[in-house]
Structure 1
Amino acid sequence: MNAALRNGLASVLLAATLGLMPISAPAQQDDTVSGDKTTDMVVDAVVMRPLGLAATVVGTVLTVVALPFTIPSGSVETSARHLILRPADYTFKRPLGDFSDSGEDGR
């Protein structure tokens, strides 16, 4: 058997063996995304909250821009709920580091 064929067969067997092995993840703490509550809080405070604030501001602008279309159709409340209130709830009503709660009333 030549070296190229032997290396190719070994690679296929190794890939098949690794593909059939069960993958075990490290144990995570309950209710965490990263496995560490402190890391979740830092990511939430530094990344997610500012993004949520930006989404609330952009949603407010989009709601105002869409008013000529939503007033005649009677969908101002629905538009405002999805574009302003949901991002605002996510940003201001959630406990720090808790990514599962989208607000008290689940808007």
Structure 2
Amino acid sequence: MNLLRTTAAVLALTTGLLALPANAEVVQENTSGDPMYSVNAPSGYSMAGDILIARPLLIGATVIGAGLFIVSLPFSALGGNVGDAANALVVEPGREAFVRCLGCTMNGYKED
């Protein structure tokens, strides 16, 4: 009798665990109307992590990058790559900090 109960419990748990992935997907509604946002549809946790952790770090990286750009400006001017240095040190972190939607992994800035 004990073997029967153990077998039944293992079978019930296994069946329950196999059914979990079918119920794991949550459909999120697109309230903005933007098709890019509906594909990217960030959750509340990713938005909170973005505003509390990622954005301050990216703003700090932009400020530090601007300082490094000013320090490296004479050397990059001699090398002829001022635009590349400005893009890598200031523009890219600034674009990620200020243009990307909250919680998204890709920026919303589209160059024409």
TM tier relative to shorter chain: 0.5 to 0.7
Question: In the alignment, is residue 84 of structure 1 matched against residue 90 of structure 2?
Answer: yes
Amino acid at match of 1:98: C
Task: Name whichever structure is richer in helix by fraction.
Answer: 2
- Write out aligned runs for 1:1-107 (5 A): 26-27=24-25, 31=40, 37-101=43-107, 103-105=109-111
Which consecutive aligned stretches of 4+ in structure 1 deviate over 4 angstroms post-superposition? none
Number of residues of Structure 1 aligned to a counterpart in Structure 2: 80
Amino acid at match of 1:101: N
Amino acid at match of 2:106: S
TM-score relative to the length of structure 2: 0.61
CA drift at 1:68: 1.6
1:77–1:102 CA distance, 2 compared to 1 (3 A) = farther
Overall identity of the aligned pairs, in %: 31
Q: Which runs of 5+ in 1 are unaligned?
A: 1-23
Q: Which runs of 5+ in 2 are unaligned?
A: 1-20, 29-38
Paired residue secondary structure (1:68): helix
Give me the CA root mean square deviation.
Answer: 2.4
